[in-house]
Amino acid sequence: MTHRVWTRLAFLALVFVFLPGTSKAQTEAEKAEMKGIVDIHAHSGPDYIARRYDGLQFAKRAKEVGFRGAVMKSHELPTTQMVYFIRQLVPGFEAWGTVALNRSVGGINPRVVEMQAQIEGHFLKFVFMPTNDAENPVKHEKNLPFVPVSKDGKLLPAVFDVFKVIKQYDLVLCTGHVVPADALLLVHAAKDFGLNRVVVTHPALEGTTIPQMQEEVSTGAFIELTSNQIIPVNQDGTDKIIPNPPSHQPSEYADIIKNVGAEHIILSGDFGRPDYINFIPGWPMAIAALKKVGVTQAQIDIMAKKNPAHVLGMDDPKPAK
């Protein structure tokens, strides 16, 4: 039997451990682990591409398993209006809206951020710099359109116009899928501008080095680690599909946590695609994988519960009415 076959069988065995039908004790343990999670990276439908579940289905199930809240993300569509209805239909579940500054909303467009921030309920919270349309070497090589955030090593004026709106409405700046050099420009400029809530969007996926992450957190920014990257993909929750290897090893995340510090990291989900496992078995799978390489439950609680609630201001004192 080849090494490749053995590897896939090992991944399949991992999946079987977390399939429905596990023992009651294990289910209760998983529920305890998930109680209080705030997932800042929750994809759902309706969206411009297929998703495993819609936003209402996600919120209902997430509340049932103990999640405290979630940030509902789409790369191309603002989610603030969807979040308004989730809040109405799933009371007690703290959902938050996003807007990603891709070409679909006019690129680096402060007007769209301002309008989303004013929607009834004021549930917009995350503003992403370009994701799908972020400038990168592949875009240049294939002559594809993109939305730049910098030129000649300096951020574009429109970025600072967006910063003004973020500061006015106390929103969270997220770096999106920009290259590491631009992410560093953004976090330093955000600190100088007085933005207090900044998240570096899954930098491990963008090729960011640990020293660069250390520099980013020195500005007060949080580093995001997405759970879906350390478990097998192309897995629908059954034994019918043999999963592909994960894109990152749990040991890589453990190294980042060790060198950057759990207090500066947010652990998110980033599930929702049809070729990813459902988020409910997915989260316990990721937690188990991290624990296996030495990450503690206390660290996971900081990264998946405390830090995301902090960056969203969920525990901030409420203003007097």
| CA–CA separation, 18 and 21 (whole Å) | 8
Q: How many other C-beta atoms are found inside a 10 Å radius of the C-beta of residue 6?
A: 10
| CA–CA separation, 186 and 178 (whole Å) | 10
What are the tens digits of pLDDT across the range 50-60? 999 999 999 99
What are the tens digits of pLDDT across the range 195-245? 999 999 999 999 999 999 999 999 999 999 999 999 876 555 444 444 556
| CA–CA separation, 278 and 100 (whole Å) | 24
Q: Which of 79, 73, 115, 35 minimizes the C-alpha distance to 280?
A: 35
State whether residue 150 is helix, strand or coil: strand
Task: Mean pLDDT check: name the lowest of 28-37, 135-144, 173-182, 280-289.
Answer: 28-37
For 44, the token pair is 């759902």
What are the tens digits of pLDDT across the range 117-164? 999 999 999 999 999 999 999 999 999 999 999 999 999 999 999 999
Tell me, what amino acid is at 164? K
Residue 154, beta-bridge partner list:
151
Which percentage of the chain shows pLDDT scores above 70? 86
| CA–CA separation, 184 and 155 (whole Å) | 11
| CA–CA separation, 16 and 288 (whole Å) | 13
Residues 61-72 have a mean pLDDT of 97
The DSSP letter of residue 225 is E
Domains of the chain: 28-312 (3.20.20.140)
How are beta strands 150-151 and 38-43 bridged, if at all? unpaired
State whether residue 89 is helix, strand or coil: helix
Q: Which is more confident, 3 or 110?
A: 110
Residues 283-289 have a mean pLDDT of 93
| CA–CA separation, 69 and 217 (whole Å) | 24
